[in-house]
Amino acid sequence: MKSLSAETFLSDSRVVEAKQLILSALADHQTALSTVRPPDPARKTSYDEVLRRFENLRGAPLFFPYLGSGFGNGVFVELADASVKYDFISGIGVHYLGHNHPALVEAALDAALQDTVMQGNLQQNVQSLPVLEKLVACAKGRGARLDHCFPSTSGAMANENALKILFRKKYPADRLLAFQGCFTGRTLVLSQVSDKPAFRKGLPRTVAVDYVPFYDPEDGEGSTKRAAAVLKEHLLRYPERHAAMMFELVQGEGGFFPGDRSFFVTLMEMLREHNVSILIDEIQTFGRTSELFAFQHFGLDDYADVVTVGKLLQVCATLFRDDLAPEPGLLSQTFTASTSALFAASAVLDHLTESRKYLGPEGRIEELHRLFVRSVETIRKKDPDLLSGPYGLGAMCAFTPLDGSPDKVTAFVRRLFDAGVIAFIAGSNPARVRFLMPVGVVTDGHVAEVMDIVHRALVESR
């Protein structure tokens, strides 16, 4: 069989050597980024000017004065003002392997050598196939019937595709069910679903949504009964009108509130009885619990009709059962993913699945959560008025600083940024500080140093 030109090009000794030289140079230069570093005063004026111009063109200010240099080393990221910071929010969950991880740099180099920058409806390279195969195989690993996988460029688009599948399947149903406090995205439709009025202000109504209260760990049995009663009321009030219910198994934007298997099963059984499909939104939870999917962590494989994933993969996707597969034309995008994102997704999946260190009750994800819990409890013992918590599940970690008022938490997160740690906010009443640690590269020492910085920032904010 004759070799493809692509094969002979990629195996050319010059190409192989060039890649090796780049990776070697990367390792050498990353040694300079191994601790927090303040901005270079000589760069302040030019940095502030570039930031001002960027924000003016963007039409809105950035949350942080963050303009990256394009270089990092695992948990550390360098900004264009020469400062170096711990990135403990990972671009809200994208940089699972940290910054400039060699496996991702190599994947990006391989992608750059391909002829197609963006892959989509008319043009897919053969390298797309392994990503879809790996995702489906992982999703079906414990019995879920998720046979298909449609890639997309964002988590919001993955959720939009899921809703299109489910509404088409149950036409003329025109309503959705979701949890109070949920966040599903910011498109026109998803702004209606996300339970935050500010996201809907000034936007036309696109879909009717009925909300169900989420699980309360302080009253598990009671909250389950209340949620079931509200769900029953919605189902009886609008018979056959609900296409699906969206499930965040851990509420992310809402404050890192994890649910409970019994709670979910109670509601899912009711939905099954009323022929309402179950959509599980794993844009943020994928790869951050004791199992690869949160629905596997909670043992909900039998109930998963449609599952959406994203963030840490860089490619987002909608996984769905065979009996939900739509006719051609419903799902069709000019761009389903960039070639670099597909290569990165494959590398991240390999990293997660080929090593046995991440998953399971004794895996690295649960180990990091226990370490975070101990760190928060240590601060509470020293200064009980500084914070409450810990909250979250797995690699989704949160605490409430001070009194939890949104203004104070916002000010604290910005103080933390200036001190060298990038975190973000979740929830509103009270607000919380959330971490999405770069699981693939963070060490116990990194967590300890970050929590020391957190403690000092809390004391200074008191």
- The whole-chain average pLDDT of the chain stands at 95
The band of 73, judged by pLDDT with boundaries at 50, 70 and 90, is: very high
Residue type, 416: L
Task: Give every CB contact of residue 71 below 8 A, 6+ residues apart in sequence.
Answer: 29, 33, 78, 99, 100
Could you report the per-residue pLDDT of 287-326, keeping only the tens digit for each?
Answer: 999 999 999 999 999 999 999 999 999 999 999 999 999 9
The phi, psi pair for 425, rounded to 5°, reads -105, 150
Angle at 186 between CA 422 and CA 54, to 5 degrees: 55
pLDDT in tens, 170-189: 999 999 999 999 999 999 99
pLDDT of residue 329: 84
Which DSSP string corresponds to 427-452? -STT-EEEEE--TTT--HHHHHHHHH
Please give the Cα distance from 195 to 338 (Å, whole number). 31
The answer to whether the CB of 349 falls within 8 A of the CB of 131 is yes
The confidence band for 79, taking pLDDT boundaries of 50, 70 and 90, is: very high
Which residue has tokens 């790869």? 287
Quick: pLDDT tens for 52-63. 999 999 999 999
Looking at the chain, the whole-number percentage of residues with pLDDT higher than 70 is 100
- Strands (E) in 255-361, as ranges, are 257-258, 277-282, 306-309, 316-320, 337-338
pLDDT at residue 386 greater than cutoff 90: yes
What mean pLDDT comes out for the span 358-386?
95
Candidates 303, 309, 305; CA nearest to 321 is 305
**pLDDT tens digit sequence for 32-46:** 999 999 999 999 999
Nearest to 135 by CA among 295, 308, 334: 308
Q: Which pLDDT value is given to residue 88?
A: 98
Name the pLDDT band for 328 (thresholds 50, 70, 90). confident
What is the band of 358 on the pLDDT scale with cuts at 50, 70, 90? Answer: very high
Q: 377 pLDDT exceeds 90?
A: yes
Tell me the per-residue pLDDT of 100-135, one tens digit each, with 9 for 90 and over. Answer: 999 999 999 999 999 889 998 888 999 899 999 999
